Amino acid sequence: MDLRKLLLVIVGSFIMGVGISMTIAVNLGSDPMTLFWIGIANHLHITVGQANLLVCAVLLVIVFFMDRKQIHLGSLLNPIVIALTTDAFVNLNFEEASYLLRIILMVLGLLILAFGIAFYALADYGKGAYEALVFTLCDRFHLAVGIVRTSADIFFTILGIVLGAPAAIGTLLAIVCMGSGIQLCLKLLTSQPIKRILLKKAK
């Protein structure tokens, strides 16, 4: 077990949970997968964190039987840390704030989420459940990552809406901009001197 990689997984997953909580708190729409979690949580009367664990467990089981090399210890820790963090901060409520402030907080939440995903990815300790499913489908059906990810985002957004989750401008921004945001954060994290601190020590 690589403790440095483990730390990157935990910290990155915690940051992701904070970003997710912020997008939920402003109630202006969340990223597609979080939207689906909210819909599941509302119908099963469980927390968003518990819905995350349920959905990720199902996705990881599917990936395990299709392409288990995508899964490592980080794949199991990631949803647990996100669930605990999300449930700890999800009661934050910014709905009474001005619309402009909510927009700013929503964008900030998405940026924090993108940074957390990039930070987690640095560990290279197993893909998250959603990413593992996307790459598994790409490999199995010889499709481009962008096509599969966008299709999956649209699919889970529709499921979330059908289940009554509030899709709004934040959902659209997440679908359109999240990929670019993650790439920018990865570029930042792999630059010097951050690269020496995080990447080399995590190997």
Domain layout of the chain by residue ranges: 3-202
Spell out the long-range contacts of 131-138 with Cβ–Cβ below 8 A and sequence spacing 24 or more.
Answer: 132/59, 132/60, 132/63, 132/67, 132/70, 132/71, 132/75, 133/59, 133/62, 133/63, 135/67, 135/70, 136/62, 136/63, 136/66, 136/67, 136/70
* pLDDT at position 105: 94
Beta carbons of 188 and 121 less than 8 angstroms apart: no
First to last CA, the chain: 11
CB neighbours of 18 closer than 8 A, spacing ≥ 6?
Answer: 85, 89, 112, 116
* pLDDT at position 123: 85
Q: Count H helices, E strands: the chain? A: 10, 0
* pLDDT at position 174: 92
Task: Please give the mean pLDDT across all residues of the chain.
Answer: 90
Q: How far apart are CA 99 and CA 103, in angstroms?
A: 6
Give pLDDT tens digits for 150-171.
Answer: 899 999 999 999 999 999 999 9
* pLDDT at position 190: 81
* pLDDT at position 5: 87
* pLDDT at position 200: 60
Give pLDDT tens digits for 117-163.
Answer: 989 988 888 999 999 999 999 999 998 888 888 899 999 999 999 99
* pLDDT at position 196: 62
Residue 185 CA, distance from chain mean position? 14
Residue with tokens 């709905």: 95
pTM value surpassing 0.85? yes
Give pLDDT tens digits for 19-61.
Answer: 999 999 999 999 999 999 999 999 999 999 999 999 999 999 9
* pLDDT at position 13: 96
